[in-house]
Chains A and B, each alone.
Chain A
Amino acid sequence: MNAHKKLVLQLSTATVGMFIFGFALVPLYDVFCEITGLNGKVELVASNSSNGGIDISRSITVQFIANTNENMPWDFVAKDREVILHPGANGRAMFSVKNNAANDMVGQAIVSVSPSIGAKHFHKTECFCFERQELKSGESEDVGLVFSIDPDLPASVTKITLSYTFFDITELVATR
């Protein structure tokens, strides 16, 4: 009987341990992604602007693309298609957004960066993509972002493209 009890204890410990490991993976993944810089394509959280000086020896072109997903009836246009700035300096870019539908809607802008190596060094201090945009029918708005680029961006990268896609989350929001 003791052998059985011992085995049951070992198996239960292993099971509980696996559950705990599963939950521990949440902070562990954050650490992993930070160290490796993976998952650089999407970053919806404000980051501090880079410390340190402005590197005037090089200029980076930041390209902005504005899309709407699945025929969402919003006009979404990048007013600043390209911004050229030095690493370390602050830049800003403006977009205009208009709800052409007959009903009020809620949208979420999702940002994607290319090349992915650029994403790790691209910091958005303010961005309309951090929050949902609620627009009444026919309403339009100018939205923007404030950003900077790390001076330690690899020398091979001279152009970074930011693609914003607006998704219609009106129904998603309504059910919550």
Chain B
Amino acid sequence: MLGKFFALFFGVCSFLFSMQTHADWALNMTQGVTDVSRSVYSLHMQIFWICVVIGILVFSVMLWSIIHHRKSAGAKAEQFHENTAVELIWTIVPIIILVAMAVPATTTLIKMYDTSESDVDIQITGYQWKWQYQYLSEDLSFFSNLSTDQDEINNLSEKNVNYLLEVDEPLVIPVGKKVRFLLTSNDVIHSWWVPAFAVKKDAIPGFINESWTRVEEEGIYRGQCAELCGKDHGFMPIVVKAVSEDEYLNWVTDKKTAIAAEVAAAARVWSLAELMERGEKVYQTNCAACHQPSGQGIPPTFPALKGSVIALEDQDAHIDIVLNGKAGSAMQAYAAQLSAVDLAAVITYERNAWGNDTGDVVAPQLIQSMVNSK
């Protein structure tokens, strides 16, 4: 009875595996877009089918007994309780199957461990709760934050199709080139995982780990942090854009220009309106998860900013805590993570939003000089 149910279930499942149409009801691992991911997928399917076959064999025998050897059908129990030949067979045959499985598994693992002769090296640092990407042979480094609106998370607006899998700054890599990843962490253990590449490696504070990929198809690939790292472990996704080599080189140049322009932008005068507009975006991305879109926080762990002393009064203390964080708490030092314009904008926003209305305008140039010469 039970065995029959499961035989049917397995049959249905194997049929369904073959019709991967609707992403919502996805049953199986992705084949991915790299040679390694395809090898991993075939290993997965091989071991899966071995298990299915063994399962069907074993459960069929059980099912047979349940039907034909029931007392109510008049079955009389035999009394055998040993059979050396059978026991030897069902010990040795599984060992042979396992050895057979171990061979392709070993080959694939050796492939996965070979990080040599890479074309691009990227250092990935896990932070609570975002990723930092640094292109080692370029002077290029930026943070990548979840960009899903807090309103979607709090069920105040409809969730978009890439809900929780979208970021403000994706990692961009060239297709067809070997990209080597160097992983570490700023605080606790995180793990960088992109299913389409079959790349997953832990990011450990104080240590460096390596992995690599060679993406064969242009596209956007999404992943998530795969090691519990605190409150927002589920809210620090990964987005990788794989583009042609030309597009990649252009992007690198454009990005560096953009970053330089951002630094230069601190020199000019910014109006309150401009700072508020920028500040709201920065706040949503970096601050709202803890301090809430409403500024009310989740006291006592995440203090309120709305109506708070620090946002209404001591501007120096406010700037200090945003730039340098608060030791012993989850409040990070944002000086190294945000541009001077972003820092000035978010502080201005916090001092004027939600009815705080101090009228204070924090000049990006002030922040820039504070960051430059401490």
A interface residue numbers (CB < 8 A to B): 41-42, 63, 65, 67, 69-71, 73, 81-82, 100-102, 110, 112-115, 138, 156-159, 161-163, 165, 167
Contacts and interface: CB of A to CB of B under 8 A. Distances in A.
Contacts of B118: 159
A114 B186 CA distance: 18
Please name the 6 residue pairs, one residue from A and one from B, whose CB atoms are nearest each other, closest first: A163-B208, A71-B333, A100-B374, A112-B207, A112-B208, A114-B210
Contacts of B121: 63, 161
Contact of B114 (A73, A82, A102, A156): A156
Interface of B: 113-118, 121, 123, 125, 136-137, 182, 184, 186-187, 205-210, 324-325, 332-333, 335-336, 374
B206 A110 contact: yes
B186 A159 contact: no
B184 A165 contact: yes
A157 B117 CA distance: 9
A158 B116 contact: yes
A63 to B, nearest CB: 7
B187 A70 contact: yes
Nearest to A67: B184
B207 A115 contact: no
Contacts of B335: 73
Given A114-B210, A165-B184, A71 B125 contact: no
Contact of A163 (B182, B325, B336): B182
A115 B186 contact: no
Contacts, number: 72
A157 B123 contact: no
Given A112-B206, A163-B207, 17 more contacts: A63-B136, A65-B136, A67-B186, A69-B186, A69-B205, A70-B186, A71-B332, A73-B324, A81-B137, A82-B137, A100-B374, A101-B324, A110-B206, A112-B208, A114-B182, A115-B210, A157-B116
B184 A156 contact: no
A42 B186 CA distance: 17
Contacts of B336: 71
Contact of A65 (B113, B186, B208, B325): B208
Contacts of A73: 324, 333, 335, 374
Given A63-B121, A70-B186, A165 B209 contact: no
A58 to B, nearest CB: 12
Contacts of B332: 71
Given A63-B121, A110-B206, A163 B184 contact: yes
Nearest to B371: A100
A77 B209 CA distance: 20
In this complex, the member of B115, B117, B182, B208 whose beta carbon has the largest number of chain A beta carbons within 10 angstroms is B208
B309 to A, nearest CB: 22
B374 A41 contact: no
Contacts of B324: 73, 101
Contacts of A67: 125, 184, 186
Contacts of A157: 116
A62 to B, nearest CB: 12
Nearest to B132: A67
B207 A71 contact: no
Contacts of B209: 114
Contacts of A138: 374
A70 B207 CA distance: 13
Contacts of B210: 114-115, 161
